Chain A
């Protein structure tokens, strides 16, 4: 395709020049705008640019090519499409534009020349002029730029070198310089410090946040304890933990030593039927149990339920962090298909290779465990304690999956963000070590959080209409993990986070923040820039992309569960038969048992327990517990389905979403892992495979209609619309609106032109539409329609392209319902 010059450059000779240029450029004062339309962050400067570059668009972006200018700064590789609107200098700085990629996300830089590809490292030299520049990103995107023959060869070479030199892969310390490049300027610091937090989500940082959650769940009998306020009880637990009301702080303090890392059983969530979900680390066995301790330990573990506690052991069946890491790196290698090494799994081995990564097995086992826990909780009035040795990895996955399955609130964007705050950020998942930003701790690296996102995606793809959040949101979160910019991920626990933010005044810190003086041994440099939380989406995503994070219409109500022989789908669960108060069962590998040493203080070795509690472990409760999990045999229809439920009263919205986990039903998250998809060619049909779920698109359309409706109904009554800008919708304007046929698109037209068009003939209708289609739609158009204007003009479901083959008159007609068939005895002759 390219007819660019094939001249071979003596690159070595050029090297000093580049160095010089870089030096001189970085000395240049910061300009907020580059002449070619890049809006720089404060303090950011362009190191190199190349003009007339084309960017390959992915399926999600509408496919095809987009031409524009490519930039490399200290912070990112930016791409500004040719005719993009001029950036607004007064708007808040956005870290990344729609086509940008942060240097820290780049994993590998590869150039493609005539008949060859080459991996470019800071030290490599080029012996040919690249025709294509491919950036392999750590978030599994593959970004591809094509150099036109109009791109000056020197620019091509230089920008390639500049990128290769600046992105600094895998080096400890590069993270800090990256952060400084992005956020280090005085202006940025100022800007971030003044930034408001999203008040619509629960941050779980203060006592009141937790109390709000307790109230939301209707969890009585629990209280928020600040016994760990100074992280003295447990360094990895948050400052506030939720414990049974009846346990006093003084009693509580004695319990910490009985658990690994002091991570005592804490309340996470209450099922509306009254069961509580707890998380705990494993017991410290070699500790002498005093009588008082035992009483407290039992109270903490049983929480508010006196009768029954099920300890769910997570370690055995679920993948270890090392397993997850191995699976993910295999998956990554498989999906990215690295052109520089030409090592790509042949198509005919794709399926078995995918299987051998075990990634899908791991998602399945997490989902299965979470489904089982969800079914247990549904039984009502028991405590389920998730137990993992350290309680910081798969227990985060399972506890949050359970809540996504059971709690519709957690399937909204804000609810989900709160959930991640609660079960991951505050609970002390070691994001910092698991993501391994500094590349200095490979042993600890494990994308546990990404496994969780994949599990949520599986749920979403089986129940798309029960989620308010969308796949776009999951993708955004997935990609943000790789950016070492967010306080949410740049620490292993709240304590570290607090320490860090201590150095930066009040930016992003809770009102009643950490009060200790800064530790002298603090790992973070005092001049670190303040870090924003990941939930400040406006820093990364433009408004129209954020709009796609949620489905516009409310999720659909639950349906009667379908008995398909999978996990217990019976809505009418058996009530647990009375069990002896204080029974504890271990749930592991799908079965319940009550091993004698389940609770160390009850085991025979510590005699004290026996004296005061004469109960022996009993297996009487096992059958009733098993019934909670039992898959309904396909032969019998439970009473609940045949006779009473369903038509009477709405279904319980807390019925868990139980995924089908059979082999053919576990999907690969292609939208994420195959985004780079070098093997997927660009093709021309406007509606291609990889767009938002059709349900989402329909939903968007319904919402757009609703919006119009509200505008329309506001019209006749001459109610002042909410937006002040539309106040001008007076009677005269109204008429004219109607006559122009743009009634439905009131905002798509400048108001100034209204008056002059009062007498416009009705034929102008189409013109109006046509002209309003060209530019980005304002309020009337649905949010998710907004792909780049010049690339995919017709990606919206029922929309039509503005290109030549647009046929506004052809559109979807609902199937005529006149075509009814007569009964078999119908006498219609043919």
Chain B
């Protein structure tokens, strides 16, 4: 990114015009602007600017005929502000130290949503457009240097660091623009509102309607003879981190649920996540049992798990997947937690999946950032990558999910999944297993439902893990659990390129707006909090934006095989680093050939040929209808040509 041509993590984006380079999260129009414009027919440009939400692509408004004109246009260019976005401060003569292209001088504008840097000394202008939500830390580097410069470093949540400098203020009373920035980058710490609450964009689609618990359970066939839907948590009294609608075994009355809740950490009782449409084997999730050092037992909990097992007639066994390493699970006994003993739970088999905790993951991602940003050491790239253990963690998570999916699909056995609290690793594993098992979740809307259900409604603590608008960057509760999950999804899309309706850009967009605080989707820690804050009423859902322009997020190679279960190869030999996300800021990584463009060309070509075939066919039908004595029945629409195997 840094440099002509915008981030282009994907190259997927149809863009655009030759715009000044934009370094922005929100560049919906990411792309190698320099040349894709030329490779593209002019019609694409115009349709582009129409179809892309303008908020995300200020640069799209430029539709220059020639490059020279772009440059001139861009000189006047300021970011197009979002609804209710207001300029807070502007400053001239700021130096941005780009790690790839060297120092750039330019102007900075800070609004209540973004930082906008635009070079004044480069042609075409270098632009950096950064939602303040991605800023994790702002630090003043050193004091005033000998040259009288003050330097600021911005550590970002999305795998990059930015460094700026400006002259020492003559007017000592005046605040540096970066002091202003701090205020708006960490609104929560400064008693301000997160921008999502002010952003008033209206989209044709309403993303808050994507997920409805009752209808999702209904899609799965719940309630049925073994499972019922309970309203016991309607006011979040049973468990304040759970959703209001829960699916539980039919023969456990609500009073007993309360007693089970008392035995599970934070009251997170085992509830249904997914049920196999044929075998009725289920995936249930919960938190750790409060066994403690004394090995406490709970009759109700034991009965409850028995009920889960009995709900599946196919198997007389129940697998409990404790996703933690055995040692960690045992260590939790000190704090009253622990794991199910196989003595207490008849017919249950306990399996540890050896996935490490949020702190290990945070550290691993930090190391990964060191390895990929800003410079990559070519000769030791692989061993450096190995030393971060990031891919190994990815492998363990995928392997765990694979075991769960395999038990449910092949073993027809119900499984219970938990970690300590059941909102981090548990969410990763249940949602990945569900993605493997159920092709519905591999569609765009299905994936949105999956996130809404397994992550948002079941209380993955996004606010805490990401630290939206919070300046406390050392908070030990922060962890890239969700990123890791999206990485795993990406690995699946690599292994099954035609099994997912969404493309890589969809995943990157989700991660970008995980931090941007533009949408309300990832705010707060639980459904209860979201309701209290009236998030759906006061903010816009990310799905509103995405579902309003699905064509940008659609995988052209998608084929809907509805009954296929995905069993990925989880060997490290077949996993890859997600270069398109982690190393997207490095301009040297950009490939020369935008394969996505080729997809689109071929698809267009295919559609065009298809049309001609249809036309010719119609012509033939007409001709034969008029010429031959008996026209026969009209041609049944020949399904658009499918090349059958």
Contact = CB atoms under 8 A, between A and B. Distances in A.
Interface of A: 347-352, 354-356, 360-361, 364, 462-466, 553, 556, 559-566, 569, 633-637, 641-643, 646-647, 657-658, 660-665, 670, 674, 677, 679-681, 683-689, 694-695, 697-702, 704-706, 708-709, 712-713, 715-716, 731-732, 734-736, 738-739, 741, 743-745, 758-759, 761-763, 765, 769, 772-773, 777, 780-782, 785-787, 793-802, 805, 807-812, 814-817, 819-824, 826-830
B566 A685 contact: yes
A635 B619 CA distance: 57
A824 B53 contact: yes
Interface in B66-97: 66-68, 71, 80, 82-83
B642 A716 contact: no
B645 A348 contact: no
Given A565-B588, A688-B495, A699-B602, A560 B645 contact: no
Contacts of B4: 563, 634, 637
A40 to B, nearest CB: 31
B645 A794 contact: yes
22 contacts: A348-B389, A559-B36, A560-B38, A562-B32, A643-B68, A660-B588, A660-B591, A680-B574, A695-B602, A698-B557, A698-B599, A705-B606, A735-B624, A735-B628, A762-B632, A762-B634, A762-B635, A795-B645, A796-B644, A810-B562, A819-B550, A821-B52
A635 B603 contact: no
Interface of B: 2-5, 32, 34-36, 38-39, 47, 50-55, 66-68, 71, 80, 82-83, 100-102, 104, 122-124, 126, 201-206, 372, 376-383, 385-386, 389, 391-392, 395, 494-499, 544, 548-551, 554, 556-569, 571-574, 577, 579, 583, 586-595, 597-599, 601-603, 605-607, 609-610, 612-613, 616-617, 619-621, 623-624, 627-628, 632-636, 638-645
- Per CB-CB distance, the 6 closest pairs between chain A and chain B, nearest first, are A663-B381, A560-B35, A815-B551, A355-B382, A646-B38, A683-B567
A711 to B, nearest CB: 9
Nearest to B540: A830
Contacts of B620: 712, 715-716, 734, 738, 743
A662 B642 contact: no
Given A698-B599, A796-B645, A798-B643, A824 B377 contact: no
Contacts of B612: 709
Given A683-B568, A743-B635, 20 more contacts: A348-B389, A462-B591, A466-B593, A662-B381, A664-B376, A677-B569, A680-B574, A683-B566, A687-B497, A689-B569, A700-B643, A705-B643, A735-B628, A738-B621, A738-B624, A807-B560, A816-B550, A816-B551, A824-B82, A824-B83
A741 B574 contact: no
Contacts of B633: 739, 761-762
B496 A688 contact: yes
Nearest to A569: B592
A463 B499 contact: no
Nearest to B40: A559
Nearest to B379: A361
Contacts of B376: 662-664
A634 B549 contact: no
A798 B386 contact: no
Given A662-B588, A705-B613, A687 B639 contact: no
Contacts of B587: 564-565, 634
A760 to B, nearest CB: 9
Contacts of A670: 573-574
B609 A349 contact: no
Contacts of A829: 202
B203 A821 contact: yes
Contacts of B628: 731-732, 735
Contacts of B34: 560, 562-563, 637, 641
B594 to A, nearest CB: 8
B602 A702 contact: yes
A689 B494 contact: yes
A62 to B, nearest CB: 10
Contact of B591 (A556, A665, A763, A815): A665
A786 B645 CA distance: 7
B128 to A, nearest CB: 14
A685 B616 contact: no
A503 B589 CA distance: 55
A739 B635 contact: yes
Contact of A744 (B571, B636, B638): B638
Contacts of A822: 204
Contacts of A810: 560, 562
B101 A633 contact: yes
Given A560-B38, A635-B3, A821-B52, A347 B571 contact: yes
Nearest to A361: B379
A823 to B, nearest CB: 5
A221 B613 CA distance: 51
B637 to A, nearest CB: 9
Nearest to A350: B572
B339 to A, nearest CB: 25
A735 B205 CA distance: 47
A686 B561 contact: yes
B592 A559 contact: yes
Contacts of B377: 663
Given A637-B124, A743-B617, A709 B609 contact: yes
A49 to B, nearest CB: 31
A679 B569 contact: yes
A463 B566 contact: no
A360 B51 CA distance: 43
A657 B599 contact: no
Given A463-B593, A559-B35, A785 B643 contact: yes
Contact of A830 (B206, B389, B598, B643): B206
B379 to A, nearest CB: 7
B642 A800 contact: yes
B20 to A, nearest CB: 11
A702 B605 contact: yes
A684 B406 CA distance: 12
A364 B386 contact: no
A698 B627 CA distance: 38
Nearest to B616: A712
Given A665-B591, A705-B613, A769-B644, A681 B567 contact: yes
B496 A687 contact: yes
A414 to B, nearest CB: 23
Contacts of B621: 738
Contacts of B381: 355, 662-664
Nearest to B497: A694
Nearest to B588: A565
A562 B5 contact: yes
B641 A708 contact: yes
A800 B599 CA distance: 20
Contacts of B562: 805, 807, 810
B345 to A, nearest CB: 30
Contacts of A356: 383
B204 A821 contact: yes
B45 to A, nearest CB: 12
Given A715-B620, A738-B617, A830-B204, A731 B571 contact: no
A798 B598 contact: no
Contacts of A680: 569, 571, 573-574
B495 A559 contact: no
Contact of B123 (A642, A660, A698, A732): A642
A647 B609 contact: no
A819 B51 CA distance: 8
B606 A701 contact: yes
A715 B68 CA distance: 51
B204 A642 contact: no
A664 B589 contact: yes
Nearest to A631: B588
Contacts of A636: 122-123
Given A761-B633, A808-B639, A830-B544, A797 B557 contact: yes
Given A647-B38, A819-B549, A462 B602 contact: no
